[in-house]
Chains A and B, each alone.
Chain A
Amino acid sequence: MRVTGYAFKLGDNISTDDIIAGRYLYITDPGELAMHIFENRPEIRSRILRARRPIVIVAGRGFGYGSSREHAPLALKAFGVKAIVVDSFHRIFYRNSINNGLLAVEAPGVHDLVEEGEMVTIDLDRGVVESSRGIIHIGEVPGYVRGILEAGGLREVLRRLAGSQRV
C-alpha cells in the first residue's frame, strides 16, 4: 500500500473539535461535513482551503485529541486528505481513520523532517515515510489492523459480511 500527496503541516494536539465543531455532528453526509472543516480554527481553515491536492496531513504529537466523533476523519477524507502522518495519535481518532480507509501512520520525527507543500510518500510495504529531505522507518502495522486497511476499512469488512450472509 502506497500513498503520495502534498504535505499540509499542523502542530501538536490538533483536536477533533478543531477538525469539526460540535454544532455539526447531526450531519452524517461526509461531503456536507467537509464543508465545515476547521471552522473552530479559522487560521487553519483559510490555509487548507488553498492547499494543493492530494493532501497529506503532517502533524506533531497527539493528533486527534478529544472526542470519538468519527465525523472528523470522514470530513477530512471527503475534503481530499489522502493520509495523515504524525509524531503520535490519540487512539480513537487513529481507529476511526483506519476504519474508514483513511491511511493513518505514526512516524516519530516526521513533523521536523517534512516541509510544508512538499511531496510525501507513505509506503507500507517498505515500511517508510519519504520526502525529498529524508526517510523515516515506521514500525510494522499489526497484521489485524493491516487487514482492515487493505479491505478498505471496517466499513468494507461490514459490507462483505452483509454480502456473505446474503449468499
Chain B
Amino acid sequence: MHDSLALEILSSHVVEGPSDPGPGDIVVVKPDLLLMNDVTALLALRVVEETGAPIDCSRIRTMIVLDHYSPPPTAKIATSYRLLRRFARRHGCTLKDVGEGIMHQIAVEEEAEPGMLALGADSHTITYGALAVFSTGIGSTEAAYIMARGELWLKVPHTILVRLDGRLEWPLTGKDLALEILSRTGGDGAVYASVEFTGPGLASLGVSDRLTVSNMMVEGGAKTAIFPVDRVLIEWMRAERGIVKPGWKRLAPRSEEPSMEIDLNRLEPMVSEPPEPSRARPARELEGVEVDQVFLGSCTNARYEDLEAAARILKGRRVREGVRLIVTPASRRVYQRALESGVLEVLHSAGAVITPPGCGACFGSTMGVAGDEEVILSTSNRNFPGRMGSPTARIYLASPQTAAATAIKGVITDPRSLS
C-alpha cells in the first residue's frame, strides 16, 4: 500500500519517471479523463491551430463543456461556441452544449469513478476527489498537449491528512467544513498538497458535502483533495451511477497520524469575508451585514441537496423585499430533479429567480452580475474583488442554509437562529 491515496492512484498511471515515486518527484502520467470548459477550450483550440499539433481525442476520453458563458450573452461568444462545436465534432471529443450544466457536475454525474486520474482545464476539477479520484486543474496548452500526446507531467504531491471526528448535523454542511479548513490553512497553506480525509466523522458526510469540500480545497492551494472509498461512497456509486468495483478497496480510509483534526460537533455555520475565501468566520459574528443579492449556484453548492436545503428553509416564507435571490442549478439533471420534486416551485414561490444551469453569476459574466458597491452572499467558492462583476462589490461566501436564511432576513443570518 502506498503512503497516500494520491500516490496509490498516481502510481497506476505513470508512463515515465521513477518506478517508486515519492513526494516531489516528477512523473509523466496518462490520465483517464480530460476536461475543458468553454473558455479554456477556446484557448486550447487556438494553441492547436497555431502550433499545428496533431490531435486525436479518441485515445483519452475528452469532454468540452459550454458552461461559463452559457447561454451566450453576446454574438462574439455565440460565435466562439460554434468554433468549439466544430472542433469537438472534427476531433472526436464529447461536447456538452448550452444548458447541460457545469463541467464538474456533469463529470460527477457521468464520468468520474474511484481510482481514476482526471485532468481538467479548470481549477475546480479538484472536485471529483470526493469520489476518490485524483483530479486536478491544468492549463489550456496542457490540455492541447494531452490531446496530442495522451500524457502530461505532474509533480507528486505531499499529503495533508485531515481527521474528522463527531457528526455533521443540520444545518451544518460540507461548506462550513470547507471554510473551517480554509480558515486554518489560509490561502496558500495547502499549496501543491494532496488534502486527504479520514476518521469516524466521514460516516456523516454525504457525497454532496464531500464534493463541496474537495471543490474548495483549491482555495488553499491544494493540488488534489481525496476522500477514501467507504460505505457512504459505495452506496452513492451504486445508487447514482450503478457501478461498484472490487479494485476500489485499495482506496480505503487511512490510519496514519493526521496533520489536522476537526470535531464536526463543534463546527459552526461559517461565512467567508471578502476578499479571500480563507477569511472565514462563524456566521454569527457577521450577522446584520445587509445584502443586495443572494446567489445559490456554482460547482460548489448547486446540487439537488443544496437546492432542497434552501427550499426547506424558504418554504412558506418570502425573500426579503429589495433582495434578489438568484438560483442557478448545477446541471440539467439537478434542474429536472428539483422540478419534479417541487423544490423549484418552493423557491420560485418564495421569490427566487431561477436561471438555466451553468456557471451563471459565479464568475461575473452573465445572469446576476454584481454592480458597484453591492453586497452579495454567494454559495460559490471565490470572493476576490471583481469576481462577480464590479470590483467594488463585496462578496461573502456561505452554505445554502445560510444563504436561504440571509435571503429571508436581508442581512447575513446564522441559519440556526431561524428555525
Contact = CB atoms under 8 A, between A and B. Distances in A.
Report whether chain A binds chain B: yes
A77 interface: no
Give the size category of A's interface with B. 35 or more
Contacts of B382: 15, 17, 66-67
Contact of B141 (A66, A89, A145, A154): A154
Contacts of A40: 384-387, 391
Given A39-B391, A66-B123, A70-B139, A88 B68 contact: no
Given A15-B384, A68-B122, A68-B123, A145 B39 contact: no
B53 A158 contact: yes
Contacts of A89: 191
A13 B43 contact: no
Contacts of B52: 159, 162-163, 166
Contact of A99 (B122, B139, B365): B139
Contacts of A68: 40, 121-123, 125, 137-140
Contacts, number: 152
A53 interface: no
Contact of B139 (A21, A96, A159, A161): A96
Nearest to B391: A40
B396 interface: no
B259 interface: no
Contact of B148 (A22, A96, A158): A158
Contacts of B139: 68, 70, 92, 95-96, 99
B51 interface: yes
Contacts of A165: 54
A113 B347 CA distance: 55
A22 B365 contact: yes
A29 B96 CA distance: 25
Contact of A67 (B53, B54, B123, B385): B123
Interface residues of B, number: 52
A41 B145 contact: no
A67 B126 CA distance: 12
A39 to B, nearest CB: 7
Nearest to A143: B26
Interface string B74-111: 10110010000000000000000000000000000000
A28 B43 CA distance: 6
A70 B386 contact: no
Contacts of B74: 26
A158 B139 CA distance: 14
Interface of B: 26, 28, 39-40, 42-43, 46-47, 50-54, 68-69, 74, 76-77, 80, 121-123, 125, 137-142, 144-145, 148-149, 153, 155, 187-188, 191-192, 221, 223, 276, 363-365, 382, 384-387, 389, 391
- Which 6 A/B pairs are nearest by Cβ-Cβ distance? A40-B386, A62-B188, A162-B52, A22-B363, A96-B139, A25-B39
Given A12-B187, A17-B387, A144-B28, 19 more contacts: A12-B188, A23-B364, A25-B39, A28-B43, A40-B385, A40-B391, A62-B188, A67-B123, A68-B138, A70-B141, A89-B191, A91-B221, A92-B139, A144-B153, A153-B141, A155-B50, A158-B51, A158-B53, A161-B148
Interface of A: 12-13, 15, 17-18, 21-23, 25-26, 28, 39-42, 61-62, 65-71, 74, 88-92, 95-96, 99-100, 142-145, 153-155, 157-159, 161-163, 165-166
